[in-house]
A and B are shown apart, each in its own frame.
Chain A
Amino acid sequence: AQSVTQLGSHVSVSEGALVLLRCNYSSSVPPYLFWYVQYPNQGLQLLLKYTSAATLVKGINGFEAEFKKSETSFHLTKPSAHMSDAAEYFCAVKVNTGFQKLVFGTGTRLLVSP
C-alpha cells in the first residue's frame, strides 16, 4: 500500500535558518507526492506537488522539495525561515483508485524562534 512517513513530529529552527522537513514514501508505482501546510485553526493549503515532470519542485512561500527515487524521499526545504512559516506541514501521497485519494503523513510542526 502506498504511504508516507514523516520523520520528526517537531522541528525547531531560528529565523533565517534553513528549514528541512523530511518525508519518505512507500509506493510500488511512480508516486504523486504533495506537501500541505496547516496554520492554526485553519484547513490545509497546498504548498507544492510532484507529478513526475521534474524532480525539483518549487512551491509557494519560497518552499521547494526534491524527489529522490533512490532514497524514496521527498523532503521539503526553505533556505531561510520566517516567523510566518510556523505551522504544521503534511506530506501526502496520491493513491490511485481511479479517483484521487490522498493519504497523509502524521505531520511535522515547525517552530520558528526569533
Chain B
Amino acid sequence: EAGVAQSPRYKIIEKRQSVAFWCNPISGHATLYWYQQILGQGPKLLIQFQNNGVVDDSQLPKDRFSAERLKGVDSTLKIQPAKLEDSAVYLCASSADRAGNSPLHFGNGTRLTVT
C-alpha cells in the first residue's frame, strides 16, 4: 500500500510569512494526526482528526496555526504568521482506527526553517 504522502519536503520562509503543508494519508485511514518535532525533541501532537472532525487540538497554537481535513481525506496545516520557534519538522500520520488497535503510519515530514 502507498504510504503517507507529505509535501513539500523542505520549506524556508522568513518570520511573519505564512506557510502551508499538505498531507495525504493512507487510503481508508480514518484518523489523521499532525505532529511537530523540534530538533532534539520528540514529536508533539498538534491536532488529531477523526474523518473530517477534530477530536484533539489542545496543543495547537490557534492564534497562528490552523488545520483542516475537508472530505475526511487530505489535510492541510497552515501557519500564519510564522515565528522563529516554529522551525521544526512537521509530521503527518494516519491510522486505520481510533481506538489504538492499529499502528500509526508516518510520512517523511516537512522540514520548516523560519529565518
**Chain A interface residues toward B at CB < 8 A:** 9, 32, 41-46, 49, 90, 92, 94, 96-107
Secondary structure of the B contact surface, majority rule? loop
B91–A99 CB distance below 8 A: no
Can you name 15 A-B residue pairings with CB atoms under 8 Å?
A32-B100, A41-B109, A42-B108, A44-B91, A44-B104, A92-B42, A96-B100, A98-B55, A100-B95, A100-B98, A100-B99, A101-B45, A101-B56, A104-B43, A105-B42
- Which listed residue, A9, A94, A107, touches B100 by the CB 8 Å rule? A94
- For B100, what are the chain A residues with a Cβ–Cβ distance below 8 Å? 32, 94, 96, 99-100
B41–A107 CB distance below 8 A: yes
* B61 on interface, CB distance cutoff 8 Å: no
Secondary structure of the A contact surface, majority rule? strand
**Chain B interface residues toward A at CB < 8 A:** 4, 31, 40-45, 48, 50, 55-56, 91, 93, 95, 97-100, 103-104, 106-109
B45–A102 CB distance below 8 A: yes
With A and B bound together, what is the CA distance between A103 and B86 in angstroms?
Answer: 19
With A and B bound together, what is the CA distance between A44 and B44 in angstroms?
Answer: 13
Smallest CB-CB separation from A96: which chain B residue?
B100
